[in-house]
């Protein structure tokens, strides 16, 4: 049996808690909401919740896919909660968020794969929080353009879809998604004029050259924002960590990404898809003022 790679000091964090963290948790719990922060065991939950920010997960907390890197529960989901869009929007109002991030489980069990629920959630957020900008991290909707279009037409400010990993490793860790399908989703979003974003994990056994190739593919598809973070194995049942990428290499990835034309690149060991999302939106707000 292969020895597990020892976690380096730079990945050891303290969750911590403060009054804002406690209040964020209270709002999430009282509205029976799900967050990717907790279900995905995000290492930044203490920092983000302590600042009053959270990434809401809609469509329930059971995913129809079983990707080998993901900690979200897999199985047969419950029916959609018709009140969820309003509950999410109300929570955002209570938290006084200037920028809200929404993601979801995959709902391959539904005829529209959850697209209408997505659109309604965005619309409710904007109805109750007209000054709040909205960022969505969407599934691939099996590459069905008419479903991706429903999300685009709800007019969130940023639409993100994660590539997750490089082309060679993608089929090894993604249970149903495909590299080219994900690129096509990003291409469709970019063509609509909506700000596009994607995220990847490193430490799965990829090479720097493969990461650079992925960057090129994303830029050709029109992606504007890229996040790069260290893959952390949720449990011994998940895909093993091949290596812990050094902070120096993350800096190099950021420099390469910016040189290739990304507007923004967040690249560090603990970066996740929505990390510092509230900072990223300011870049685009400035451009419209």
Report pLDDT digits (tens) over 170-186: 999 998 999 999 999 99
63 is in an annotated binding site: yes
Report the predicted TM-score, pTM, of the whole model to 2 decimal places: 0.85
Confidence of residue 10 (pLDDT cuts 50, 70, 90): confident
Residue 110: both structure tokens together? 């539904």
- Residue 37, marked binder: yes
pLDDT above 50: residue 287: no
- Residue 7's pLDDT band, with cuts at 50, 70 and 90, is confident
User: Is 32 among the annotated ligand-binding positions?
Assistant: no
Q: Is there a binding annotation on residue 42?
A: yes
pLDDT digits (tens, 9 = 90+) for 41-90: 555 555 554 454 568 889 998 999 999 998 888 999 999 999 999 999 99
Q: Domain-by-domain residue ranges, the chain?
A: 14-288
Contact between 198 and 228 under an 8 Å Cβ cutoff? The reply is no
CA within 13 Å, CB half, 222: 18
Angle at 81 between CA 80 and CA 83, to 5 degrees: 145
- What's residue 154's pLDDT? 98
Q: Is 48 annotated as a binding residue?
A: yes
Question: Rounded to 5 degrees, what are φ and ψ at 176?
Answer: -140, -20
What's the count of helices (H) and strands (E) in the chain, helices before strands?
11, 10
Residue 20's pLDDT is: 57
Record: fold of 14-288 = TIM Barrel (3.20.20)
| Residue scoring higher pLDDT (285 or 189) | 189
Phi-psi region of 39 (alpha: psi -120 to 50; beta: other; left: phi over 0): alpha
């Amino acid at each position: 049996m292969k020895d597990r790679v020892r976690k380096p000091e730079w990945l050891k964090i303290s969750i911590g808690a403060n009054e804002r963290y406690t209040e964020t948790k209270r709002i999430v719990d009282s509205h029976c909401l799900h967050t990717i922060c907790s279900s995905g065991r995000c290492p930044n939950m203490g920092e983000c919740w302590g600042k009053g920010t959270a990434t809401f997960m809609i469509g329930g907390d059971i995913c129809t896919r079983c990707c080998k890197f993901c900690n979200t529960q897999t199985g047969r989901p419950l029916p959609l909660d018709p009140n969820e869009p309003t509950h999410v929007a109300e929570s955002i109002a209570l938290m006084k968020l200037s920028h809200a991030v929404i993601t979801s489980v995959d709902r391959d069990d539904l005829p529209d794969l959850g697209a209408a629920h997505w659109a309604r959630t965005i619309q409710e957020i904007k109805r109750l929080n007209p000054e709040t900008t909205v960022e969505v991290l969407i599934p691939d909707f099996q590459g069905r353009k008419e479903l991706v279009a429903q999300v685009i037409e709800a007019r969130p400010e940023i639409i993100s879809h994660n590539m997750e990993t490089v082309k060679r490793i993608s089929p090894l860790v993604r249970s149903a998604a495909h590299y080219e399908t994900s690129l096509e989703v990003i291409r469709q979003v970019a063509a609509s004029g909506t700000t596009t974003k994607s995220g990847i994990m490193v430490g799965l056994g990829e090479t720097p050259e493969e990461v650079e190739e992925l960057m090129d593919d994303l830029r050709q598809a029109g992606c504007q924002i890229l996040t790069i973070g260290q893959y952390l194995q949720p449990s011994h049942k998940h895909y093993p960590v091949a290596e812990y990428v050094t902070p120096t290499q993350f800096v190099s990835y950021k420099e390469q990404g910016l040189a290739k034309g990304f507007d923004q690149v967040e690249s560090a060991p603990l970066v996740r898809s929505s990390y510092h999302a509230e900072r990223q939106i300011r870049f685009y707000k400035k451009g419209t003022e």
